[in-house]
Chains A and B, each alone.
Chain A
Amino acid sequence: MSEPIKYRLESFFWRWAQRRSPRASAVTLRHRSIYVLPSKAGLGFFLAMLLLWLLGTNYQNNLILAVSFMLIALFLVAILHAFRNLAGLRVEGLPAEPGFVGERVELAVELTPARGCRADNLLLALAPELEVRADVAQGKRQLVHLPLRAEKRGWLRPPRLLIKSYYPLGITRVWSWVHLEARVLVYPKPLPASLISASGGGELGDEGQRLKAEDDFIGFSQYQPGASMAQVAWKLYARGAGLHLKQYGGAEQESLWLDFDAVQGDVEQRLSGLCFLALKWHRQGRDYGLKLPSGTLNPATGDEHLHRVLKALALYNLPETD
C-alpha cells in the first residue's frame, strides 16, 4: 500500500522539481531552482548548538548562551552564503564526444559564475557515484567533464544533473537539479565477429590470409584530410617530406561491405559485430561501405566516414535518427 504512495509522491516531487527547472541547453541557476537544507554535518552542528544552549541555561551563563546563539546565527548566514555560491551560475551543455556502449562517456559542461562572483567547491554528478568537483574562479569559465555510463546505443540523454555544494561551512547542503538539453551519441559495443559471404557460401575465406595479401605495400599517395592516422607514413614525415599516406593492397584492393545480413545473431549482436569490423577496417585504412536494411552508405575511408558508419549503426531502428 505504501509503495505506490511513495512512488506517486516521488514522481510528483520530480515533476514539480522539473517544472521549476525545465530542460534547456543552458541554464542559469535562480532562486526558483536552488534548494538549501542542513547537511548531515549540519545536524551535528545543531546538536552542538542545542547542548550549548542547555549548558548555558543550566548554569545561567549568558556567554555560553551567546555562543549557542552565535552558532544559530552562523548557520543562518551560512545558508545565505551557500545560496550565493550557486545563484547566478550558468550551466551550459557542450557537444559531447561519442562513446561505445559499456564505456563511460563524458558530458562536457561549461560553468560560468555570476558577474563579480565565484563558485566554490561545487560537486556535480549525473549519477550519485560519479561526482566531479569543480571550482569556478571569478570572471572565468570552467569546463567540467561529467562521466556517465553508456548502457544503450543511440542518443543518450543525460539524466538530471545534480549540482551541490557544502560551501562555506559544510553544515549546509545547497543544490539544484539541472535538466540539460544535451545528448551523447552512443555507438554499439564492438564485439568480435566475422562476415559470412553474402552469396550464401561459407565464410569469407581465411581473413588472416587475405589481410596479409592486402598488406602488400604498393606506394605513397598525397595526404588527404580525414585519412586514418594509421595510414600516415610517419617515417617519411619525420624526414621532413610532408604528410603522405601509405597505399596497400595492390590490384585486388576492393571495397568491403559491412553487410547487416552477412553477420550472425540478433539485431544488437549484428550491430556490435559490424561496429567491430568497421573499427578494424578503419584501423587498416581500407575502403568499406555499410549495408543496413534501412539504407546504404557507399564505401569510403577516413574518420568522418567511420563516424557516419558508426552513427548509422548506433541509430539503426531507433525512433530518433538525427
Chain B
Amino acid sequence: MTDDLLGAEGDPGNGTADTRRDTGERNTVEIDDGTGDLEEGRSGTMLLARMAEAVYWAGRHLERAEGTARIVQVHTDAHVDLPVGEDVGWEPLLAIAGVDSEFAERYQAAAGPEDARAAEEDVIEFLLHGEGNESSILASMTAARENLRTARPVVPREAWEACNNLWLSSNDLLEEAHTREGRVRWLRRVIAGCQCIHGILLGTMSRDEAMSFLVLGQNIERADLTTRVLDVRSDSLHAPGADDPYDVVHWMAVLRSLAAYQPFRRAMPARPQGGSTLRFLLQDDRFPRAVGACLTEARAQLKVLPHSERAQEACQNASMVVASAPVARLTVGGLSEFLEDVQLALVEIHERVDDTYFRPSFVGWEPTVATR
C-alpha cells in the first residue's frame, strides 16, 4: 500500500482537478529599495521581529546569569584569601549586580543599625534567587528559559533542552546553595550549564539572523557587566600612593570574576594592578569579555542585519569612547564617571536596536508598504 492512499484508492469523486489559483507573482515588501532583488527576500529564512527580540533577550539573560554566578563565586574565593577585618564585605556584589537599593529595601529595613554590614547569607540569597531581585541568577535563568521557549522554532532543540534542564536543576538544588561549600557547587553548575548552552549554540546553530541577535544581546550584556565589575574597584582607587598590600588580590579578583586572569597573564607583561588591568578589560580586542572586544563583536553582528545603520553608529561611538580612555589618568580618579559614559553608550546601542527591530515605531513601516 502506498503512502498516497488517496492516489492508490482512487479519486475521491468531486474532481480533484487542481483548483489552485496561481497569483503568478508574489510580493516581498522591502523597506529599503536598495537592498536587492525581490527573489532574495523569498529565499527562506525570515525572522519575526518578536522572535528576534526573544533571542536577543535570551542572550542577555544567559550572560547575566553566568556573569553573576562568576562574580559571586570569585568573591567567595577572594574573601577567603583576606584576613578577617581586611575583607571588603559583601556589599560590592550588590553594587556590581546593580541591586543595592532593592537589597536595602528588603533586608536592611528590618535589621537594626548595629547590622551595618550586609550579612553574607542575605546577600548571597538575594543574588542567587532573592525575591524582588529581577536580575538574580535564578530570575535571569527563568527569563532566559522563557525567551528561549518563545524562540524555540529558531534555536536548536538541544539548546532549549540544556537551558530547561539547567533551570530545573538549579531550582531543584537551590537548598544546597545555602552553605559556602554547596554554593560553590551550585554556582559551578550554573556557569558550566551556561557554557554548555553557548557551546551548543556555537556548534549547532546556523549563523543566521537569529544567531546575530543572540550574540548581539550576549555582547552588550557582557560589556555592561565588565564595566560594572570595574566600577566597584573604582572606589579604592581614589587614594593615590596608598600602598594597599592587598591591591594585587583585589585586581586578581576583578580579573577572575571575568574569567580574565589567565588571558591577562598571557597578554600583559605587567602584574595585575590598576593600569594594566583597566587597559586589558577595557581595550583588549581579543579577550571576549573585554569591553572593546564585545563592541567589535556586536558591531560585526549588526553589520549582517538589515537596517542596522543607526545601531552600528551607536556601536562605533561606544568603541571610540572606550578606545580613547585615558587609562593612566583613570587609575587616580574619574574612573566611575568614565565607566558611566561607557554604560550610557551601551544603553544607546540597546535603544537603537530596540527601536529598529522590536518597538512600535517598527509598525510605522507599514504605511510605506501599504502605498506600494
Is the pairing of A and B real? no
| Chain B interface residues (CB < 8 Å from chain A) | none
